[in-house]
Each structure stands twice: as structure tokens, then as C-alpha cells.
Structure 1
Amino acid sequence: MSTPTTAAAPPVRRPDPTTNAIRRRVALASFVGTTVEYYDFYLYATASALVFAPTFFPSVTPAVGVIASFATYGVGFVARPLGGIVAGHLGDRIGRKKLLVASLVLMGIASTLIGLIPSAATIGVGAVVALVVLRLLQGVAAGAEWGGSALLSVEHAPERHRGLFGAFTQMGSAGGMLLATGVFTLVRTLLGNEAFLTWGWRLPFLFSAVIVAVGLVIRLGVQDAPVFQELKDSGNVERFPVWQAIRRHPRAILVTAGLRLVQPALYSILTTYSLTYLGAKRGEEGSAAGLQAVLVISAVSLVSTPFWGWLSDRVGRRVLAIGSAVGIGVLVWPFFAFLDAGPLVLLPLVALIGMCVFHDSIYGPQAAWFAEQFPTGRRYSGMSLGYQIGSIFSVGLTPLLAAVFVELGGGSPWILCAYLGVYAVLTIVAAVFAVDPRARAARGGAGASAA
């Protein structure tokens, strides 16, 4: 009598340490590379608020000089869709990594050269022209950067942890702001305000060359995700991915643009315009307190951003986005009342609530959520277009519009607060129409779509 054979149990799958090591390396590369990019980009924002008006627009009133400075700041955001289109097209065809290396080099060159521009008193209008051209190059580089870095982290991530892994790209914004504000504050403290305004502001821009070199070393050590390599090896790469994204995914592009309205606008208020507002309302003490608050919120955001990305993997992206938009629309009114008369010692705490709760709860999950709106072959193009188009109308124009709105309001920010309220409503509408696979998974339905 034969003994029945028992099928051998399948071997237990253990986590691949190489795969986990690659994921950690990619997460680090995404964070460091984006930090370097945003360091350069945010240097310009800080300089626009504190330095560029007297340096490049000395012949106009201070208020007009600030508006002109913020106008050149906004130019960078006008150029970002161009960077997103070019990088999206090439990134969906030849790979994400090559475009990320190119964007980092371009950003470093543009930022270093800004530190070498003579003042308007020396070369006249040529200084402003050079400033605008280099800001345009910064915008192209920034437009190329975000989508590629986000995809590098999200496409390497486990399906159930895309929000967390994508948040490492998002952390680069806080890292760049922390580094930029910290370097500016250090140079200003060491040199004194007069020397800083005369020539010291150039040092942080020249320092860009050093940190870009560090970022390149780290970024060169990673590769594109297997999901893209498989697509490329199959020969199914789109010939014109940008056009295909526009033709086949217009709703997804509009949704991602809508999700980029109220959150970046709040960011511009907290980190850029509030410095100018505090300086005008409360003098040098106010602007110094504003810089300190930006340092604090940027540091804490390095922790809160991945937390919200992690939470979105469990409860879904949409519920966090809607809660964030409602909170921002309400928060902005008492926030400006506090800037007018509140105790400056409490400013970091107030700013923390705005940044690390209401801002980061929608910002942390964005890399994963935007990637989930598009298929692999058109993902870089589609998400870059939506992200950068939304950025023009939010973070790019907000400092300029804020200065104009406060002037129109006779020094009162009520028009600005109403403007943010409109953006909050539009963001809520976009969140309702966005695909949210993690919300379905959290309710026990279908999981997230394949990366």
C-alpha cells in the first residue's frame, strides 16, 4: 500500500534585504536631492522678502520694491511647467534618474550665478534682467525635479506604504527651507544687518555649489524603479507621453492642479510673505521672529510630513486633504490677527499649527496620491503638469498677490484671507474627484492601483 505523498509546503518568503536596502537608499536620495533643490529655490524666496528690493529696485518705494521682488520670485513658477513638460516627456521615455541629475546641476549653476550678479547701482537694469533669467532657469530645474524625485521614491515603495515612502520627497521641501533659512540667519547674525544687506546675502547662494556636489554624489548611486525598467524593456514607452497625458488624463491633471492650491498658498504665507508683513507691522524684531519661526516649523515638518504620509496609507488621502483645506480656510483669519498684535514669543507655536498640522496633512501624502492618478508610462508627464500648473496659481503668485491685496485693503489682510478661502473650496472639490485607492483599501475594498 502506497503512502500518500504530501505536497511540500511552499518556502516562506523572507524580506529581501537587498530590496529593502535599495528602498532605503532611494528614500535617502529623494530626500537629500530634493532638499538641495529646494535650498536653492527657497533662498530666492527669503532673499525676495528681505534683500532684493533695495539691491535690485532701489529707485522705487519700499512697498513697490517688495512687489517687484515678489514678481521676479513668481517668474520661477511660470517656468516650472516648462521644466515639468520637458522632464516629463524625457523622464517617461528614458528614465527618471537622468532627468533628476540634470535638474540638480541646472539648479546649482543658476543659484550660484545669482550670488554673483552685480547690484542695480552698478550695472543698472542689466542686474534685473540677469536676475529674471536665472530665476527662470531655477524654475525649469524645479519643475523637472519634483515629479522625478516623487516617482523615484513611490515606484520603489511597497504598495501599502507609498504614502510613507513618497513623503521622503516631500520632506525635502522642509529640509531645503530649514537649510536656506538657517544659512541666511547665520550669515545675517555673524555679519550684522548692514553687511548682510550689502554683500553677505550672496554667500548662501555661492554655497549652493558645495551642497549640489553632495547631492549629486548621493543621487548618482540610485537607479530607476523596476516597474519603469520593465516598461522600457517591453518597448511600450510612449512616443509623446506629455500629449498622451493631456489627451487621455485631463481630469487627473486638473485634479492634481486643484490639490496644489490652498496648501502651497499657505506655505508661501507662512514662510515668505509673513516675513515682509511682520517687518512692516512690527519692525526688525518682527522679521527676526518670523525667521526663527520658519526655522522651527521647517525642523518639525521633517517629522510631521512622513507621519501624515504614513497615516494616509491607513485612512486614505482624501479625508486628510479635505480636513486640511477646511482648517486652512479658517486658520488664516486668526493667524493674521496674531501677526498684528500677538506676542512674538508664541509665533513659532502658532506657525507650527499652520504648517505641521494643516499644511503637512495634505502635503505629506501628495507624492503618492499624485502618482496614483496616472499609469506608469504617462506618470512623470501627467503629475508634473498638474503639480506645476497648480503651483503657478498658488505658491508662485501668492507672495505677489498678498502684497497687492494688503495694499488694496489699506494694510488689512482681509482680501488675502478671502483669497485663501476660495482656494480652500477649490481644493476640497479637487479632493472629492481625485482617485483615492488607499481609502478603498482602508474600507476593505480594492487596493491601490499598481505603481
Structure 2
Amino acid sequence: MLNEMSSLSSREIKLIFLNFMSYTFLVYNYSILLVFNSPYISQTLFKGSYVLSLLGVYGLLLIDVIMRVPGAYVLGPISDRYGRKFVTRISSLGSALPLVVVALIPDPSPILLIILYMVQGFFTGGLSAGITVVGVEDLPERHRGWFGGSGFAVGGSAYLLASIVFFTIITVIGSSNYIEIGWRTMFLTSLLILPFGFLMSESLRFRRNKERVKSPAKVLISSYKRQFILASTLTALWASMNALVNVMLPNFLYAVDHLSKIEIGYMSLIYSVVAIISAFMGGELSERIGRKKISMIGGILGILFSPVFMLMPLSSRSLIPIFVSILGFVSVFGGGGIMSYVNENFPTKIRSTGVSLSWNIGFLVGNFIPLLLTTILYFTSIALFPVVEMIAMLILGALIISVSIISHETKGNIEKE
């Protein structure tokens, strides 16, 4: 693998770095900032009981993800006509500025928060039309699989970034001041996406392909309907599996295992590293055995390790890092090949439209999971948290296996154009 990495050109290495960092900040901005801070700021933003205020936070996240779909619908075709670079730049700016406003307003009202997250979500949908496409599209076939793992590895790298920022802020201002000014400082770091987004180069494959479609969305629905449905469905299932752990983990550790803010930060750090490794491993294996098979294997692992949720509150604290590592690995391993799979379903002339719509519809469904599970807990009991998580992972694992079986293999499709 290292020898093969050395065969990459300096342009391709730069592309990998900028694409991965831009995508990391995409996830960091749209969800991690809010979710990572949810145990500490939910009752600041939304007054009420702990569970009810969490519903408010997850509701904001859902509004953001809903707006990603119209953002993809509007900006995806622009990317197919005018380039991935152009859309990445304008969307980087549009996705960061609303979060700066959240940080600077002393006491933002729920209505204002909703409006700001609607704007943020719209431009995040457009951002995926560039960032989710350009790296997979432009790299050589041998590197398409492992790099496609970044589609879910960025969940881990965004958590890792959040952990580093969190501990830096805590060190500087102290944990007692975090609820007052710490989280606002963290929200201001959303601006760091701008240098990476603006330095992103244009896709050479897009430049070489001179065919421009007047209405990419119409071509997508009329000629690539089956591919679009399968790409959206598998993305939705793996986004759901990821959200089951990624989004719910801080609150699970807080409410079930009763960890402190600092301990949750350390567990998030462990989760981050494991998730990054797992997603890239899954992506690399998908290049060897296929996107379809690795997705099926991931679904099986989800079923086998779902009881971990039940074991966590029953075991000693010393075992929690091991359980977090297992969940981090299982939640993204089979999804390592999905970003490549989605890209390979569509030709260059409509790829940004097809990928951004499939990806954002999938993550829209996936982000219903935290809201659904939190609603169940609200109407039952927080004590059922482990049972609810285990059952959800069992169901998702079974669905992933079923859809993967009826799916088709896409590895090598881009090179066949």
C-alpha cells in the first residue's frame, strides 16, 4: 500500500489532503459542533427537561439535513455544468457563516436558530456536490476504494477535531466557563473550512468530459432511477448505522454510564481514531472484494456486536473504552465502500447531481434515527437507552444485508466511461 501511495502525483496528494480536510469540516460544521456540545448546551438553547431539550437539538440537526436535499437539487446541477470547484467555494462560505452568527448572538431564539440552520443545511447540500465527488472521481482506480472510505471516516476525524478543540478550550478557559463562552468559541472554528474549500482544485475528469446536460436531475430520474434508489437506500442505512453511534454516543455515555464531560471527551477521542481506521479499512477491502460484499459483511458485524449496548452499563468503567472501540469500528466498517459505490453509479455528466441527492437523501433518513430514538426514550424511560440502541442496530444490520444482496457491483465503473 505504501509503495502504491508513492505512485500518486503531488497534485493527487494535495487533492486527497484538501478533500479530506474539507469533508471533515463539512461534518464538523453541520453536526459535530451541535451534537458534541449537546450534553452541555441543549438546555441553554432550548429550555425544558434534559430529554426535551435534546429533542430540540436533534430537531435542529434534522432541519439542517432536510435543507441539504434542496441544496443538492439546486447546486448539484450547477456543479455538473460549471465545475466542482465553483460550488465547493460558494458552499463553504454559505455553510460556515450561519454558525458564526449562532456563536455571536447572546441568546438566540428557537426561530432564529431554525432559520440559521436552514441556511447552513442548504449550502451543506451544495458542498457535498463538490467534496463528495471530486476526490473519488479524480483519483486513479487503485486508490478509489480506500479514499472512498473517507465518506464515513470523516465522522471520526470530525469527532477527533472536536475533541482537540474541546480540550484546548477547556485548558485555556477551564471547564467551569465552557457553558458560558467555550462552546461559542468552538462554533467560531467553523470558519476553518474556508481555506480548504477555496484551495480545492477542479476535477480533471470533469474538465476532460465536455458533455454538459441541460437538466441533470431529469436525466438522473429518467435513465438512472434504479441506481439512484439503491444508492440512496444503502447510503440511508449506513448513515443510520453511523448516527446510531456517532450522534447518540455523547448522550449515551452521559445518561447511561454517567461519565463526566472530560471522560466523554476522551471516549469521543477513542471513537474517532477507531472510526477513521475502520472506514478506510472497509474502503480498501471494497477495492479488493467489491463494494457489495463489504457492505454485507458490515451488516453482519452490526448484528453480532449489537449486544455491546447492553453490556456497557453492566460492566466496569475500565471496559468502556473497549466497548466504544467496538461500536466505532462496527458502525462504519461496511460503509467504507459506500461513497465510491454512490459515485460509480453515475456518469461524469450527472455525477454531482446523482451523488449529492443520493448522499443527502440518505443522510436525511439516517438523521431521523437520533430523533426517533430520543422520542421513544422521552415517552418511555431513559433507562431503556441500551435496549433501544441494541434493537435499532439489529434491525439496521438485517436491512443492510438485504439491500446489499439485491444491489449490483460498481467497482471499476468510472474507468469504463
- Are residues 1:418 and 2:395 paired? no
Preserved contact between residue 117 and residue 130 of structure 1 (Cα < 8 Å) = no
Once residues 266 and 182 of structure 1 are traced to their aligned partners in structure 2, the CA distance between those partners, rounded to angstroms, is 25
TM-score (norm 2): 0.90
- Are residues 1:45 and 2:45 paired? no
* Cα distance change on mapping 1:217 and 1:374 into 2, 3 Å: closer
The Cα shift of 1:301 comes to 3.3
The Cα shift of 1:291 comes to 2.6
* Cα distance change on mapping 1:22 and 1:32 into 2, 3 Å: same
Once residues 424 and 432 of structure 1 are traced to their aligned partners in structure 2, the CA distance between those partners, rounded to angstroms, is 13
Once residues 19 and 284 of structure 1 are traced to their aligned partners in structure 2, the CA distance between those partners, rounded to angstroms, is 44
1:268-287 equivalences under 5 Å are 268-285=243-260
One of 17, 29, 33 as aligned partner of 2:18:
29
Q: Secondary structure at the match of 1:412?
A: helix
Which letter maps to 1:64? L
The Cα shift of 1:18 comes to 10
Deviations 1:191-210 (A, max 9, x none): 3444211222100111222x
Q: Secondary structure at the match of 1:374?
A: coil
**In terms of mean alpha carbon deviation, does 146-155 or 407-416 score higher?**
407-416
- Are residues 1:400 and 2:375 paired? no
Once residues 160 and 282 of structure 2 are traced to their aligned partners in structure 1, the CA distance between those partners, rounded to angstroms, is 19
The total of aligned residue pairs comes to: 410
Preserved contact between residue 242 and residue 381 of structure 1 (Cα < 8 Å) = yes
The Cα shift of 1:246 comes to 1.9
Preserved contact between residue 132 and residue 355 of structure 2 (Cα < 8 Å) = no
Partner of 1:109: 97
Once residues 31 and 384 of structure 1 are traced to their aligned partners in structure 2, the CA distance between those partners, rounded to angstroms, is 17
* Cα distance change on mapping 1:423 and 1:187 into 2, 3 Å: same
Partner of 1:201: 183
CA RMSD of aligned residues (A): 2.5
One of 402, 406, 410 as aligned partner of 1:429:
402
Preserved contact between residue 159 and residue 450 of structure 1 (Cα < 8 Å) = no
* Cα distance change on mapping 1:214 and 1:449 into 2, 3 Å: closer
Q: Secondary structure at the match of 2:273?
A: helix
Partner of 2:43: 54
* Cα distance change on mapping 1:155 and 1:93 into 2, 3 Å: same
Which letter maps to 1:383? V
1:58-69 equivalences under 5 Å are 58=47, 60-69=48-57
Once residues 418 and 132 of structure 1 are traced to their aligned partners in structure 2, the CA distance between those partners, rounded to angstroms, is 31
* Cα distance change on mapping 1:338 and 1:276 into 2, 3 Å: same
Partner of 1:391: 363
Preserved contact between residue 100 and residue 148 of structure 1 (Cα < 8 Å) = yes
Once residues 361 and 112 of structure 2 are traced to their aligned partners in structure 1, the CA distance between those partners, rounded to angstroms, is 25
The Cα shift of 1:170 comes to 4.6
* Cα distance change on mapping 1:426 and 1:300 into 2, 3 Å: closer
Once residues 262 and 347 of structure 1 are traced to their aligned partners in structure 2, the CA distance between those partners, rounded to angstroms, is 26
1:23-422 equivalences under 5 Å are 23-41=12-30, 42-47=32-37, 49-58=38-47, 60-119=48-107, 127-168=109-150, 170-188=152-170, 190-209=172-191, 211-219=192-200, 222-225=201-204, 227-232=205-210, 236-285=211-260, 288-332=262-306, 334-356=307-329, 358-394=330-366, 396-410=367-381, 411-413=383-385, 414-422=387-395
What is the aligned-residue identity percentage? 21
Once residues 254 and 78 of structure 1 are traced to their aligned partners in structure 2, the CA distance between those partners, rounded to angstroms, is 18
Preserved contact between residue 73 and residue 357 of structure 2 (Cα < 8 Å) = yes
Preserved contact between residue 241 and residue 396 of structure 2 (Cα < 8 Å) = no
Once residues 32 and 61 of structure 1 are traced to their aligned partners in structure 2, the CA distance between those partners, rounded to angstroms, is 36
* Cα distance change on mapping 1:415 and 1:213 into 2, 3 Å: closer
Preserved contact between residue 81 and residue 212 of structure 2 (Cα < 8 Å) = yes
Preserved contact between residue 76 and residue 140 of structure 1 (Cα < 8 Å) = yes
The Cα shift of 1:322 comes to 0.7
Once residues 406 and 255 of structure 1 are traced to their aligned partners in structure 2, the CA distance between those partners, rounded to angstroms, is 31
Deviations 1:378-408 (A, max 9, x none): 11111221211121111x1222112122234
Q: Secondary structure at the match of 1:346?
A: helix
* Cα distance change on mapping 1:311 and 1:401 into 2, 3 Å: same
**In terms of mean alpha carbon deviation, does 396-405 or 90-99 score higher?**
396-405
**In terms of mean alpha carbon deviation, does 407-416 or 157-166 score higher?**
407-416
* Cα distance change on mapping 1:259 and 1:406 into 2, 3 Å: same
Q: Secondary structure at the match of 2:104?
A: coil
Once residues 134 and 19 of structure 2 are traced to their aligned partners in structure 1, the CA distance between those partners, rounded to angstroms, is 7
Which letter maps to 2:137? E
Preserved contact between residue 96 and residue 224 of structure 1 (Cα < 8 Å) = yes
Which letter maps to 2:202? Q
Which letter maps to 1:364? G
Once residues 159 and 348 of structure 1 are traced to their aligned partners in structure 2, the CA distance between those partners, rounded to angstroms, is 36
Which letter maps to 2:19? S
Preserved contact between residue 241 and residue 378 of structure 1 (Cα < 8 Å) = yes
Deviations 1:233-288 (A, max 9, x none): xxx31111012212222221221122123432232232332222322234343x54
Preserved contact between residue 150 and residue 368 of structure 1 (Cα < 8 Å) = no
Which letter maps to 1:74? L
Once residues 310 and 89 of structure 2 are traced to their aligned partners in structure 1, the CA distance between those partners, rounded to angstroms, is 44
Partner of 1:12: none
The Cα shift of 1:316 comes to 0.8
Q: Secondary structure at the match of 2:256?
A: helix
Once residues 329 and 182 of structure 1 are traced to their aligned partners in structure 2, the CA distance between those partners, rounded to angstroms, is 32
Once residues 208 and 253 of structure 2 are traced to their aligned partners in structure 1, the CA distance between those partners, rounded to angstroms, is 52
The Cα shift of 1:71 comes to 1.2
